[in-house]
Amino acid sequence: MHFLPNKLEGRTTKSAFVCLKSPDFAASARGTLHNSILENIKLIITNYELKENREFEIFERKDKADFFKYQQQEASQSSTSNMANVGQMFNQPGMINLITVLLQKW
């Protein structure tokens, strides 16, 4: 077992590389052991990928998560500014009188 630094998350992770004799045996092991617990460690079983491909996939996931956070912030700021606009609208001279007249007609 190797201890590798996780560059994106800033923590050390344990990892092992295992080669199996046949693709069928590898698929069986992956199906059986993925997400199981061994000595208080969650096992994550995947196929081998080039380091560059893994790093790109991690980057993409982080980028999507950051974009989602950005959208949430924009939506929050947008609703806050909309409420401020409504508040300004009600502070216009004569607006309360107009609303009162309209409500009386109903």
- At 25-72, the pLDDT tens digits run 888 888 888 888 877 778 888 777 788 888 888 899 999 999 998 888
pTM for the predicted model, two decimal places = 0.36
> In residues, how long is the chain?
106
Structure tokens at 10: 């800033």
More confident site: 36 or 94: 36
What integer pLDDT is reported at residue 63 of this predicted model?
92
pLDDT at 18 over 70: yes
Burial class (CB in 10 A: 0-12, 13-18, 19+), 61: exposed
In angstroms, the CA 31 to CA 14 distance is 20
Q: In the chain, what's the furthest Cα-to-Cα distance?
A: 83
pLDDT, averaged across the chain: 76
